[in-house]
Amino acid sequence: MTPADQIPQDASSLVLRRPDDWHVHLRDGGMLASVVEYTARQFARAIVMPNLKPPVTTVAEAKAYRDRINACLPPGSTFQPLMTCYLTDTSAPHEIERGFAEGVFTACKLYPAHATTNSDHGVTDIRNLLRVLETLQRIGMPLLVHGEVTDRHIDIFDREAVFIERVLIGMLRDFPALKVVFEHITTSEAVAFVEAGGPNIAATITPHHLAINRNAMFEGGIRPHFYCLPVAKREPHRLALRKAATSGSAKFFLGTDSAPHAAADKESACGCAGIFNAPYALESYAATFEEEQALDRLEGFASIHGPDFYGLPLNEEMITLKRTRTLVPETLVTGSASVVPFHAGETLAWRLVI
Ligand code: DOR
Ligand code: ZN
């Protein structure tokens, strides 16, 4: 086995500790049954987003959702879903604390109300969360943040940078020891903010924000399968994300934000936000790390920095990525719907072998 820090650039295989996905949407019902196997094949654990309809806000709901996920896993799978609590204006600190103590909730998720898919019950004003934030800081429970303001007067491409100014800076001034994961960052401002923060501030980075800039949504026409939130930004931002992800800094780790929607719901006059990258997520990250000549840093980003931040053990099992040309299908059938995967129709250089 080649240790990860001695990987030659032309290696024909890559052996890593099995990674985890620190941000994924597994959905529910038929979609859950169709998509969970892709995540379970690649990752040992995943932080499961709670933006169902209705959202997962209580310990009982999280347990029931975890049971539904486990019931959909292929036989013999050891995949472990890690549950999150969807914060609302009226979230009860004692319910969150109990869920964390019982090992049901791993983290809380802050959606600003109306920021994205199923966020209508999200938080309308951060001041409504003061007692919750106090509790999270005291018990060391991570707060996962969808960092975009929802003010219609703010240009959609500026919403993340403005969120830092209007919300994050004040929140961390008031709760300096709060553990915060700035989710799916898309801007150089977010990279700089995370780098300047203490060890209690980290960020996840998606495969798609490393691979595309905002032009991808408009190449020769509207391309709904490249639309997600936060929306991809200009090229200099993508380059800043690639630098951060491949830097070796423990503050940046893998979170796919894989967010499946039926193709018909995206190819619509008002298409849903979300990119379904679960089937080839590691292959996509490997492409970025190889292009940046940083394959030796992939294991840290994918398998070490995340568990270290969350205070969880590293996975012992190893996986192998093989250098083999891999054609990504145009669509994947999921029960009654079809879903278009990220990189559809492209050939990737790596393939995860079991
Ligand atoms: O593009 C996105 N899709 N961003 C989110 O924040 C939510 C997600 C979804 O649930 O579809
Ligand atoms: Zn998400």
Q: For residue 340, report the phi and psi dihedrals to the nearest 5 degrees.
A: -95, 120
Query: Measured in angstroms, how far is the CA atom of residue 269 from the centroid of ligand 1?
Result: 18
Nearest ligand to the C-alpha atom of residue 206: 2
In the chain, % of residues over pLDDT 70: 97
Amino acid at 203: A
pLDDT at 1: 39
- DSSP bridge pairs for 144: 109, 181
pLDDT at 240: 98
Nearest ligand to the C-alpha atom of residue 272: 1
Nearest to 292 by CA among 226, 248, 232: 248
pLDDT at 9: 60
C-beta of residue 254 within 8 angstroms of C-beta of residue 283: no
Measured by CA distance, the residue closest to atom 3 of ligand 1 is 274
How far apart, in whole angstroms, are the C-alpha atoms of residue 229 and residue 306? 22
pLDDT at 2: 42
Ligand 1 binding site (Cβ under 6 Å of any ligand atom): 25, 51, 116-117, 146, 228-229, 259, 273-274
Q: Which residue matches tokens 């999270």? A: 136
Which atom of ligand 1 lies closest to the CA of 261? Answer: 11
Nearest ligand to the C-alpha atom of residue 118: 1
Show which residues are catalytic.
257
Q: What is the pLDDT of residues 325-336, one digit of tens each?
A: 999 999 997 777
pLDDT at 334: 74
Does pLDDT of 3 surpass 70?
A: no
Q: What is the pLDDT of residues 103-112, one digit of tens each?
A: 999 999 999 9
Query: Measured in angstroms, how far is the CA atom of residue 24 from the centroid of ligand 2?
Result: 6
In the chain, % of residues over pLDDT 90: 92
Q: What is the pLDDT of residues 50-77, one digit of tens each?
A: 999 999 999 999 999 999 999 999 999 9
**Which CATH fold would you assign to the domain 19-313?**
TIM Barrel (3.20.20)
| Residue extents of the structural domains in the chain | 19-313
Query: Measured in angstroms, how far is the CA atom of residue 109 from the centroid of ligand 1?
Result: 13
C-beta of residue 242 within 8 angstroms of C-beta of residue 290: no
Does pLDDT of 213 surpass 80?
A: yes
Query: Measured in angstroms, how far is the CA atom of residue 230 from the centroid of ligand 1?
Result: 8
Q: What is the pLDDT of residues 251-301, one digit of tens each?
A: 999 999 999 999 999 999 999 999 999 999 999 999 999 999 999 999 999
pLDDT at 145: 98
Residue 5: pLDDT band (50, 70, 90) is: low
Nearest to 121 by CA among 66, 67, 61: 61
Q: What is the pLDDT of residues 238-255, one digit of tens each?
A: 999 999 999 999 999 999
Q: What is the pLDDT of residues 156-178, one digit of tens each?
A: 999 999 999 999 999 999 999 99
pLDDT at 284: 98
How far apart, in whole angstroms, are the C-alpha atoms of residue 9 and residue 161? 35
Residue 116: pLDDT band (50, 70, 90) is: confident
Which atom of ligand 1 lies closest to the CA of 272? Answer: 11
Q: What is the 3 state secondary structure string of the chain?
A: CCCHHHCCCCCCEEEEECCCEEEECCCCHHHHHHHHHHHHHHCCEEEECCCCCCCCCCHHHHHHHHHHHHHCCCCCCCCEEEEEEECCCCCCHHHHHHHHHCCCEEEEEECECCCCCCCCCCECCHHHHHHHHHHHHHHCCCEEECCCCCCCCCCHHHHHHHHHHHHHHHHHHHCCCCCEEECCCCCHHHHHHHHHCCCCEEEEECHHHHHCCHHHHHCCCCCHHHCCCCCCCCHHHHHHHHHHHCCCCCCEEECCCECCCCHHHHCCCCCCCCEECHHHHHHHHHHHHHHCCCHHHHHHHHHHHHHHHHCCCCCCCEEEEEEEEEECCCCEEECCEEECECCCCCEEEEEEEC
Residue 354: pLDDT band (50, 70, 90) is: confident
How far apart, in whole angstroms, are the C-alpha atoms of residue 324 and residue 319? 15
pLDDT at 121: 87
